[in-house]
Amino acid sequence: MEYNETRGGWLVSIGQYIAWLITSLGAIMDALYIREAVLYILSLYQVIQTEAFHKRGGIGLNLQYGFAMSAVDDFLLLILGCGAVVAAVTIEYYFRKGRPKGLLLKRIGVVVGVEIGIIAAMILLQMLI
């Protein structure tokens, strides 16, 4: 049987798990930023539809869109929650496989960069619309 030597010792292991914890929390933050951006777009759509409803002679609130937004929000939260769990498991695997090759710091940087990019894209999307 072949012995697979890992790089570093217990300190690197602790660092790897702390980095995984932080990037997993970042994946949850990404999911929440995506949810916020989608709800922002849906609320703008609701305002446009309410104005069209009033122009057609409707009076009061169009309740159809309120219930639809609530349903979309609940479904989106479920999908993004499952996606965050999958991302956390994938990130841990990515870090664990990169450590013996000496790529742990580079992989941490890649994951953090992607997470910051997603957050920046969602904020930019809300600002542009």
Number of domains in the chain: 1
Residue 9 inside a domain? The answer is no
Residue 116 inside a domain? The answer is yes
Residue 6 inside a domain? The answer is no
Residue 70 inside a domain? The answer is yes
Q: What pLDDT score does 49 carry?
A: 84
Q: What pLDDT score does 1 carry?
A: 44
Structure tokens belonging to residue 47: 């305002």
Residue 75 inside a domain? The answer is yes
pLDDT digits (tens, 9 = 90+) for 77-126: 999 999 999 999 999 999 999 998 889 999 999 999 999 999 999 999 99
Q: Is the pLDDT of residue 4 over 70?
A: no
The secondary structure of 41-99 as a DSSP string is HHHHHHHHHHHHHHHTT--S--HHHHHHHHHHHHHHHHHHHHHHHHHHHHHHHHHHHHT
d(CA 12, CA 53): 60
Residue 22 structural domain: 15-128
Residue 1 inside a domain? The answer is no
Burial of 31 (0-12, 13-18, 19+ CB in 10 A): buried
| Residue tagged 């709800």 (tokens) | 39
C-alpha to C-alpha distances, 16 to 10, 12, 88, nearest whole angstrom:
10, 6, 13
The model's pTM is 0.84
- Type of residue found at 45: Y
Residue 4 inside a domain? The answer is no
Residue 100 inside a domain? The answer is yes
Are 19 and 108 spatial neighbours (Cβ–Cβ below 8 Å)? yes
